[in-house]
Structure 1
Amino acid sequence: MRFYYGQQMPLRILDEAEFWKHQEEEHTVVIRALVPNLEEEYVEALEEWEKALGETHKKVLRFIETVTRSGLQISQALQQQVMQLVSFCLQQSLQFIKLCQQIKTESKAVSANPTAKVVIDHIIRESEYFVGIAQALLYHQ
């Protein structure tokens, strides 16, 4: 993400968060579909994460609507709320990455499925990409 978006920056980072929260939500489904014999504890964890990521995705969409309706005349308070949401999204992605790493290293079903390992590594890298974008924005502020 480039930092020359100027006044549109809050909308740009929200667009990124919206995209990546939706991706992570879908990734919970991908893992469960790819590993049909996944241990129940991980299935349940992924189902919970699917719901949580879906809620975050909806919240980001509401913020996008608010910023858009503001005519990009963003108050300091709204800017601060956007940064808090981005920070939350960042922390959520870090926790999701931890879960994916745990599934990859501890699940017997995944250890017997080389394709699942590759896909989970890809999912982790994608979430790490969003983490990098969010960190860059938060540290730039």
Structure 2
Amino acid sequence: MQFYYGQQMPLRILDEAEFWKHQEEEHTVVIRELVTGLEPEFVDALKKWEQALGETHQQVIRYIESVVRSGNQVSEQLQQQVMELVAYCLQQSEGFIQLCQQIKTHSAAVSSNHTAKVVLVHIIRESEYFIGIAQALLTSGQQ
């Protein structure tokens, strides 16, 4: 993500968060559908993550609407709330990655499914990409 967006920056990072939270939500379904015989504890965890990611996705959409309504006059308070939401999204992505790594490492169903392993690595990389964007924004926002 480029950092020359100026006043559009809150909207730009929210667009990224909206996209990636939706992706992660969909990834929970992809994993469940791809891995035949996935252990029930992982299926349950993925369903809980799907719900949590969906809730975060909706929260991001509400913030996008707030920023759009504010026009070019994003208050300091709204800017701070956006940064806090981005930090939360980052932490949530880290937790989702941990679950994906646990599934990749500890699931017998995945251990015998090369495609599932490849897909899990891809999903992890995508979430890591969002984390990189979020960390860059949070770091630049602290300066």
Structure 2, unmatched stretches of 5+, are: none
* Matched residue SS, 1:119: helix
CA drift at 1:69: 0.6
- TM-score scaled by structure 1? 0.99
CA distance in 1, matches of 2:99, 2:81: 27
User: Match for 2:97: what amino acid?
Assistant: I
Tell me whether 1:84 sits opposite 2:99 in the alignment: no
Q: Deviations over 1:38-80 (max 9, x none)?
A: 0000000000000000000000000000000111310000000
Paired-residue identity, %: 74
Structure 1 moving runs of 4+ over 2 Å: none
User: Match for 2:64: what amino acid?
Assistant: I
Tell me whether 1:17 sits opposite 2:12 in the alignment: no
Structure 1, unmatched stretches of 5+, are: none
**Which residue of structure 2 aligns with residue 4 of structure 1?**
4
* Matched residue SS, 2:3: coil
**Which residue of structure 1 aligns with residue 34 of structure 2?**
34
State the number of aligned residues: 141
Q: Deviations over 1:107-133 (max 9, x none)?
A: 000001000000000000000000000
* Matched residue SS, 2:30: helix
Alignment root-mean-square deviation, CA: 0.4
**Which residue of structure 2 aligns with residue 48 of structure 1?**
48
CA distance in 2, matches of 1:59, 1:44: 23
* Matched residue SS, 2:80: helix
CA distance in 1, matches of 2:92, 2:36: 25
